Structure 1
């Protein structure tokens, strides 16, 4: 998702509870003070080994364990889990940190987490399947499917929704989704996080603001685009976007740990908790009503499931070659120093390009990226203590990202190269 949801001004410097793109200057992303877990009186384990099969115990082609552990040991994340796959086989998996600050139980490599805007890639894939079936056309106007729902809907196409060139205002940049001080954060924790939103409510918030630009005349990440996309899926299929993702992607690929929970506030199965910082210490933010994210960021998954989804998508199992070519036709996205296709981000690195998406929702950040030819994928989830950021986590995330994408060669080691990564929420 994109704007700073409940993002604090003043003391928090708009770095608080962010459901939005972390457009941090330079190459870093949202960061967390190294002392966060220690301040809570918990000794955070450095790492938990992968499960016990022979394949998982073998030495990986690229060992990302040190970079993962750095998120906890120096970056201060309370938990981090990751997996990398190469040529259809798991090459590495690990976990670091704790499930929760109260018990200090070690995080699990198979733990589930909220995936934020990585949900958009699932939703876009469903749309492109419907295009393959002749039930949608990318250059049809929004007005054709949702008459009267959005101003100027006759001039905005489905393609422009998917690649964020519609110009529509991001509802999460509205002041009602921002917090400005500890009092408003406490109010959100006590009441606001349980609010139930309909997609129409979120679109109406956007419609109350002027667009960023005329359709097709710029690029601005806007979660409103994917709220509308989810509504179009329901209009065309007669089923919710969640149900369509489940029957078209989750079921066929056997992504058994992936869910799209609607309004349910919990995370099923094993998972690490998310936290936000208050003056008296960390407050648990794991439970929220995720209807505020809807088709823009409602999903829950694991690193293993995300890697399998990426491999299937780029391996040609979900879309025709023509639709995958359209999905990877990307426009410049200067806000994130990258290019954006249809529900996909392309990062251009010294070692080549990587494709995927990043995501975040309170307490959770996710990275899912890999090679265009489907030969390599890597997924990472880490739990930041919102509001207690330093530069350390940004450096640790950059190090993980560059090594996972480029291996252990000069491009990954050269600090002068840096990472263009921006986490989108």
Structure 2
């Protein structure tokens, strides 16, 4: 889930009978060799055995993911690396067209909607909550769209609210009114003066989506379709309100040794994260999105300049590879080999990275089917970031 607090507090409520050790051992095959998608250019892409071994070591960790898929795209060439399994029950490996929860990368989608509306003159980065959402608490009215997109708003995080967490503990598939999520913290003041500090908050992107709806008189889901999915040809990307995943899907697991991995792919509904973390996509389509949004294809040069005004040291959740800096619903990842633009996310069963070169010609998506963050398996996250940086260097290497 995009919030660390709520996951830890209701995780106990998700436990169920696990597979026996003997059955699991029979179902888990050795780490798979990488698949390759030739792409429009044809031919089998180069396969780096060193990168493959990195993935195999990642899934071999005691608390590591059952499976991983990393996709490197350069213009018309796509390299697909996988290890482990995308479904323990069948032994099927992760696939380029598997549906999966992209978690907080959904925030980049809300950023794309808002910034395209800025390009159209229907929103301004200086619009405030008071201008567009006057029914929200008066103490929040000075917060601007720019501050929401860069997590400098000071809005309290609804997903850490005790009542919100209590509801999830009682019913992880509870169907929330997504447009009323900010009501959980409507009686709370801002955490700090808007613009003064950085604090990653799920409330920010709920407010962004509500401002987009107010500016257009249209549902956020329809704005996603018209402004993002259709222009980019995303046919397997959606924002479902419930807990079901379209098939086929990458199964997500709670991996908490010594217990066996538990499939929690559909254990939790996404109405409680909505624009901040509810989108479902595939590795292939996630790459297409980040190349457009993190590159120059989707926004005007003027708006993109504002999007890429990065705050050094402010990180995504979880942190991406290298040194992080925060832009408007996008992050800069400065690795030892160069710079990428992208976003990360984590949700029970999934941890995600999508990143692109600034020119939008190359992309990396990196998906594991268990959750990790600073507050949940920090050692696994550190290892994951190291592997992600190695893949980023491969992406940036012209000879790869």
Normalising by structure 2, we get a TM-score of 0.84
1:25 aligned partner: none
Q: Quick check: 1:95–1:109 contact (8 Å CA) kept in 2?
A: no
Q: 2:60 aligns with which of 50, 53, 73?
A: 73
Separation (CA, whole Å) in 2 of partners of 1:216 and 1:391: 29
Q: Quick check: 1:206–1:224 contact (8 Å CA) kept in 2?
A: no
In the superposition, relative to structure 1, how do residues 216 and 111 fare at CA in structure 2: closer, same or farther (>3 Å)?
Answer: same
Q: 1:273 aligns with which of 251, 260, 269?
A: 251
Matched, 1:233 2:212: yes
2:365 aligned partner: 379
Q: Quick check: 1:364–1:384 contact (8 Å CA) kept in 2?
A: yes
**Which SS does the other structure have where 1:322 is aligned?**
helix
CA-to-aligned-CA distance 1:165-188 (integer Å, 9 cap, x gap): 110111122234558xxxx9xx84
Deviation at 1:129, TM superposition (A): 1.0
Higher relative CO (Cα under 8 Å, sequence separation at least 6) belongs to 1
**Which SS does the other structure have where 2:57 is aligned?**
helix
CA-to-aligned-CA distance 1:232-273 (integer Å, 9 cap, x gap): 111122222222111222112112221111x13111121121
Separation (CA, whole Å) in 2 of partners of 1:390 and 1:219: 24
In the superposition, relative to structure 1, how do residues 294 and 350 fare at CA in structure 2: closer, same or farther (>3 Å)?
Answer: same
Q: 1:254 aligns with which of 233, 237, 247?
A: 233
Alignment of 1:118-133 (within 5 A): 118-133=105-120
**Which SS does the other structure have where 1:204 is aligned?**
helix
Matched, 1:43 2:28: yes
Separation (CA, whole Å) in 1 of partners of 2:22 and 2:76: 36
Deviation at 1:344, TM superposition (A): 0.3
2:90 aligned partner: 103
Q: 1:330 aligns with which of 310, 314, 323?
A: 310
Matched, 1:310 2:290: yes
Q: Quick check: 2:99–2:282 contact (8 Å CA) kept in 1?
A: yes
In the superposition, relative to structure 1, how do residues 102 and 61 fare at CA in structure 2: closer, same or farther (>3 Å)?
Answer: closer
Runs of 5+ consecutive residues of structure 2 not aligned to the other structure? 13-19
In the superposition, relative to structure 1, how do residues 83 and 167 fare at CA in structure 2: closer, same or farther (>3 Å)?
Answer: same
In the superposition, relative to structure 1, how do residues 154 and 396 fare at CA in structure 2: closer, same or farther (>3 Å)?
Answer: closer
Normalising by structure 1, we get a TM-score of 0.79
In the superposition, relative to structure 1, how do residues 142 and 39 fare at CA in structure 2: closer, same or farther (>3 Å)?
Answer: farther
2:349 aligned partner: 363
In the superposition, relative to structure 1, how do residues 395 and 277 fare at CA in structure 2: closer, same or farther (>3 Å)?
Answer: closer
Separation (CA, whole Å) in 1 of partners of 2:173 and 2:104: 20
**Which SS does the other structure have where 1:406 is aligned?**
helix
In the superposition, relative to structure 1, how do residues 241 and 83 fare at CA in structure 2: closer, same or farther (>3 Å)?
Answer: same
**Which SS does the other structure have where 2:4 is aligned?**
coil
Q: Quick check: 1:76–1:393 contact (8 Å CA) kept in 2?
A: yes
Separation (CA, whole Å) in 1 of partners of 2:196 and 2:377: 36
In the superposition, relative to structure 1, how do residues 399 and 338 fare at CA in structure 2: closer, same or farther (>3 Å)?
Answer: closer
Moved more, 60-69 or 197-206: 60-69
Moved more, 386-395 or 132-141: 386-395
**Paired residues, number:** 378
Separation (CA, whole Å) in 2 of partners of 1:246 and 1:408: 30
CA-to-aligned-CA distance 1:327-385 (integer Å, 9 cap, x gap): 11112454656211110011223323221000111111110112112232100110116
